[in-house]
């Protein structure tokens, strides 16, 4: 359980560390001095390579490697893929696919109601 707890803390600290929020709570938790050493080590590695399933002890993980990828890349963490770009021969195709997904998301957002309107409509039905 202690190992699981440590890894949950690392996952949460990853999120805190990448945030740009300026409230005291977020600033305190974004301080690298409060991060577990294992997280600092992984972040140093992930600057030069993508997250891998081999970065984790599967028996102790609550969050899958994809969860780390969602946080890292969803919050625009920089990974320099230049040294290993030869490993990813479909990079141009992937960029095109990501651009299509981003455009579809922008288009979908145009059709969503504002948050307050959505909440009020939900509670009007209950």
Place of tokens 């919050």: 75
pLDDT in tens, 70-101: 999 888 887 887 887 777 788 789 889 999 99
Six-digit token pair at 64? 């899958």
CB 73 within 8 A of CB 101: no
Determine what percent of the chain is predicted with pLDDT higher than 90: 42
> For the chain, first and last CA: distance in Å?
40
CA angle 15, 94, 103 (to 5 degrees): 75
Where helices occur in the chain by DSSP H, the ranges are 2-18, 24-30, 37-46, 65-74, 91-109, 115-125
pTM for the model: 0.66
Six-digit token pair at 83? 């040294």
pLDDT of residue 120: 93
| Burial letters 59-70, b for 16+ CB under 10 A, else e | eebebebeebbe
pLDDT in tens, 16-42: 888 888 888 888 888 889 999 999 999
More confident residue, 124 or 78: 124
Place of tokens 């600057």: 47
pLDDT of residue 124: 93
């Amino acid at each position: 359980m202690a190992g699981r707890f440590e890894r949950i803390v690392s996952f949460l600290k990853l999120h805190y560390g990448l945030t740009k929020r300026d409230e005291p709570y977020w600033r305190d938790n974004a301080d690298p001095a409060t991060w577990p050493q294992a997280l600092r080590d992984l972040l140093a590695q992930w600057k030069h390579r993508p997250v891998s399933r081999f970065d984790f002890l599967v028996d102790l993980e609550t969050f899958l490697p994809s969860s780390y990828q969602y946080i890292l890349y969803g919050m625009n963490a920089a990974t320099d893929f230049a040294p290993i770009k030869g490993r990813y021969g479909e990079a141009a195709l992937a960029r095109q696919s990501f651009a299509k997904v981003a455009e579809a998301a922008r288009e979908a957002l145009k059709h969503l109601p504002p948050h307050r309107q959505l909440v009020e409509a939900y509670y009007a039905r209950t």
